[in-house]
Structure formats: C-alpha cells, structure tokens
C-alpha cells in the first residue's frame, strides 16, 4: 500500500504529540491548552512558606474574566479530596487560611498556589485545575513537609549517678518524619582518630508530640578516662548531620562548650 506524503506527515505529527507528556511531564486536556508543573514532588520545611508551581505555557495573555482556577488537596492518610482554593473571574475563596493565587500572574498563565506557614497537615497530593472556557486542564504534584530536629546535649547529666554509672544525654526534638539515626563516637589519647561506640548506649523509642512531630533521647554511659564524645544525629530534613561534642577531663569533673548545656538547632557541620 502506497503512503502519501500527507499521510506520512500526519503519522509523524501524531507520534510527536504522543511523546509530549513523556518529554515534558504535562497532561494534555481535551482542548488546546496544557499545564506545566515543576516536577511531581515538592518539599518544604515545617512553618516555612511555599509556592506550588502550576503554569499555562504560552505568550498569549489569558482572559481572567472567563478563567477559573481550583486547587484540591488529597491527604496522605485517605483518598478524599478537599478544595484548598478556588477562583472564577473576580470571585475567589480560600478554604485553607492564607491560601492564594497571585492575580498579577493570572494573565500570564501563572496559577501557582501560595501557602504560608506550612504545617504537617498540609502534606499530600495537590491537584491544579484550570478552566478557560470552554477548555480545561489539570495536573497534580505531591507536597512533602519535613521538620528538622532540635538537637541538644546534656552534659550535666554526666554528674548524676545511675546504678554507679555516669551518663550523658543526647536529645532530638520536633522532627518529622519519624525515622532518625543517632550515633555516638569517641576520641581518646590512645585513639585520636576516633571510633564509633557500640556499647553503653541506650536509645529510646520516638515519642509523638501533639503536633505530629517526634522526640527521641539517646543515653551514653561514660567511662572514667580522658575522652571526647560526639553525638551525631542524621535526619532527612538536615542537609548535613547534627554533631554535638562533650569532653570529660577527669573523674569528678565534666566540660562542655556551655557551662550548663550545649544546644544546637539543625546544626550543619
């Protein structure tokens, strides 16, 4: 069967159109306009502000008088969707306090959702739906919310006798998600290179707070020798691990970088 030039061109065009969602991660609507999201996942830290990107590509100004925008959120724990923000023409309503879409960007096709002071409950799948009568398009993105641990070392606990032993406490507070790693290291005159401690450590379970974040405490038994100890906390919310040092000089005295306690929040070394 002979294929004409017109048929060949048509097949090539159809093949290219089928590749567009793969190449650009866009979803084509029934009509002629599409939406563009910046990836399928976005991450924000607890209490920070976030802008969830959603745009209509193109240089032609949009008529906001016949344009509608609806943002939905599907919580991680269930499949029910709830409206977060909606706008049609000059009318708009925020179902989540502070949720907004910039009117200045609407004509340019920027329908990104702004959320101030993000909380753990704001995490989930967000769906951006845009209607430009008579066409419509929609796309989704998942918002992850992380909370960085507040890392604290309590060297004064080293002076408290517990069954004849001395202990130092390392605590991580207010982190999310629950998974966290606490490791202890030591340096001595005999081993100045340092090594990981494998004995004398007791790490309790993560305790959930009312706001959904977690606390955890790790305890190290101290030996009566000249030594420097380091508590290292690793969590997905930290770009680098949180490192807290404690030095014990002699049997009945302790030293830290603070005479009462050594405290660091999301320390990055």
Topology, domain 26-146: Immunoglobulin-like (2.60.40)
Residues of 193-214 as b/e, b for ≥16 C-beta within 10 angstroms? eeeebeeeeebeebeeeeebbb
Which residue from 26, 110, 106, 113 is spatially nearest to 66, judged by alpha carbons?
106
- pLDDT above 90 covers a percentage of the chain that reads 48
Residue 202: pLDDT over 70: yes
Residue 105: pLDDT over 60: yes
Mean pLDDT for the stretch of residues 99-122:
93
Helix/strand/coil for 99: coil
Confidence of residue 251 (pLDDT cuts 50, 70, 90): very low
CA distance 95 to 93: 6
Per-residue pLDDT of 27-41, as tens digits, reads 333 445 788 888 889
Domain 26-146 identical in fold to domain 150-265: yes
Which pLDDT score, from 0 to 100, does residue 227 have? Answer: 76
Domain ranges of the chain: 26-146, 150-265
Residue 64: pLDDT over 50: yes
Helix/strand/coil for 213: coil
CA distance 59 to 247: 63
CA distance 125 to 55: 17
User: Superfamily assignment of 150-265 in CATH?
Assistant: Immunoglobulins (2.60.40.10)
Phi, psi angles (nearest 5°) of residue 131: -120, 120
DSSP state, 66? Answer: G
Which pLDDT score, from 0 to 100, does residue 18 have? Answer: 43
- pLDDT above 70 covers a percentage of the chain that reads 74
Distance set, CA 159 to CA 162, 182, 221, 250 (Å): 9, 22, 11, 12
Q: Which residues are within 8 A (CB) of 11 and not within 5 positions of it... i.e. 6 or more apart?
A: none
Which residue from 231, 213, 232 is spatially nearest to 175, judged by alpha carbons?
213
Mean pLDDT of the chain: 79
Sole residue written with tokens 């309790």: 204
Which pLDDT score, from 0 to 100, does residue 188 have? Answer: 73
Confidence of residue 4 (pLDDT cuts 50, 70, 90): low
What is the H or E stretch that residue 244 is in? Answer: strand 242-250
Confidence of residue 86 (pLDDT cuts 50, 70, 90): very high
Distance set, CA 197 to CA 110, 193, 256 (Å): 53, 13, 19
Strand partners, 234: 181
Residues of 170-191 as b/e, b for ≥16 C-beta within 10 angstroms? bbbbbbbbeebebbbebbeeee
Per-residue pLDDT of 125-147, as tens digits, reads 999 999 987 888 999 999 999 99
């Amino acid at each position: 069967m002979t294929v004409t030039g017109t048929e060949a061109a048509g097949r090539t065009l159809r093949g290219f159109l089928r590749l567009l969602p793969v190449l650009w991660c866009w979803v084509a609507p029934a009509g002629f306009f599409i939406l563009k999201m910046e990836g399928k996942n976005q991450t924000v830290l607890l209490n920070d502000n976030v802008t969830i990107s959603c745009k209509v590509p193109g240089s032609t100004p949009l008529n906001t008088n016949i344009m509608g925008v609806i943002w939905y959120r599907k919580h991680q724990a269930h499949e029910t969707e709830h409206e977060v923000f909606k706008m049609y023409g000059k009318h708009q309503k925020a179902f989540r306090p502070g949720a907004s879409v910039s009117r200045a960007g609407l004509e340019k096709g920027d329908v990104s959702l702004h959320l101030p002071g993000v909380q753990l409950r704001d995490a989930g799948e967000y769906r951006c739906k845009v209607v430009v009568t008579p066409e419509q398009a929609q796309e989704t993105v998942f918002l992850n919310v992380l909370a960085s641990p507040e890392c604290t070392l309590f060297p004064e606990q080293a002076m408290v006798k517990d069954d004849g032993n001395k202990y130092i406490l390392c605590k991580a507070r207010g982190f999310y998600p629950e998974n966290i790693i606490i490791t202890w290291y030591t340096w001595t005159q005999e081993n100045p290179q340092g090594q990981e401690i494998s004995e004398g450590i007791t790490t309790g379970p993560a305790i959930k707070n009312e706001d959904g974040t977690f606390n955890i405490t790790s305890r190290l038994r101290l030996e009566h020798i000249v030594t420097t100890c380091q508590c290292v906390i690793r969590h997905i919310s930290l770009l680098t691990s949180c490192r807290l040092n404690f030095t014990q000089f002699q049997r009945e005295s302790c030293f830290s970088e603070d005479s009462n306690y050594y405290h660091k929040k999301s320390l990055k070394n």
